Amino acid sequence: MSANTKSEIVKVGLVQMACEDDTESNLQEAVRGIRNAAEQGAQIVCLQELYRSRYFCQVEDADRFRLAETIPGPSTEALGPLAKELSVVLIVPIFEKRSAGLYHNSAVVFDADGSTAGLYRKMHIPDDPGFYEKFYFAPGDTGFRAIDTRYGKIGVLICWDQWFPEGARLTALSGAQFLFYPTAIGFQDFDAEVASKQAHAWETIQKSHSIANGVFTVAANRIGRENNIQFWGRSFVCDPLGEILAQASDDCPEVLVVDCDLARIEETRRGWPFLRDRRVDAYQNLTRLYLDSNDR
């Protein structure tokens, strides 16, 4: 570290869980994980995507809408006070019922005093075999932004968002020091070679967001087999150079607590000034879905 940069450590925790059918059991398991992380000194703790249930989007079934919760609801009523009790920032991903017939894949951010610091609604909604999320979720309308908390400025994106560099960039440009990606991703019935390549790509794309933007990235994934998906876990934290600081296993519940030195952001951006050298005058076509031959 450069002599003129001062260390500023933030302890980040993530909870990697296997989920059951019973939503209350999953909530209590999350509470245990959060308490475990706080006992290890965590100041910001992130749960996995849709932590309160099994991953129901493998099928299109209207009965699954009963899993949704309002804000306030079971998650916020339990975990807001817990954030205050433990003086931690909590990232709580939920299946949000916004209004009659309107649902989102969302994440509530509680500040360390238990107040609601922000809400993010998943912007990119997949529709693939085994991941029929468009049946359940409307696209988010919160945009990409940093959320101010007691322990730093955090950006929250969710699962499918992690494949899109535009979302990471805009969140970083809004001041985020951390990109948190609550996730539910795993293998379907592919051969071992394809499965290994997919997991490697998932890790690489998120590490690249750290490198390109000079921020910390935190990915919290689930584990266990749920119907046709074997969730691969491997939750991790990486620094602004894309180095993995800690990573969970692919088959066990785990709580990771990792020291993140915010001074590394300044140090890395000085050495690799990607934000300085962006050509914002030349990027107008990024607002286009695709460039046809006559547009190039």
Tokens representing residue 238 in the block:
């990486």
Residue (of 199, 242, 200) closest to 217 by Cα position: 242
* Distance (Å, whole) CA 202 – CA 220: 12
Using an 8 Å Cβ cutoff, are 292 and 265 in contact?
A: no
The residue type at 126: P
Using an 8 Å Cβ cutoff, are 7 and 1 in contact?
A: yes
* Distance (Å, whole) CA 256 – CA 73: 27
Active site residues: 49, 122, 159
* Distance (Å, whole) CA 246 – CA 220: 12
Q: Using omega within 30 degrees of 0 as the cis cutoff, is the peptide bond preceding 126 cis?
A: no
DSSP classification of residue 190:
-
Crossing angle of helices 74-86 and 23-39, in 10° steps, is: 10
Going by their DSSP bridges, the two strands 152-156 and 178-182 should be labelled as parallel
* Distance (Å, whole) CA 156 – CA 93: 10
Using an 8 Å Cβ cutoff, are 181 and 158 in contact?
A: yes
Sequence-distant (≥ 6) Cβ neighbours of residue 141 within 8 angstroms: 121
Sequence-distant (≥ 6) Cβ neighbours of residue 182 within 8 angstroms: 46, 47, 48, 49, 51, 91, 93, 107, 156, 158, 159, 220
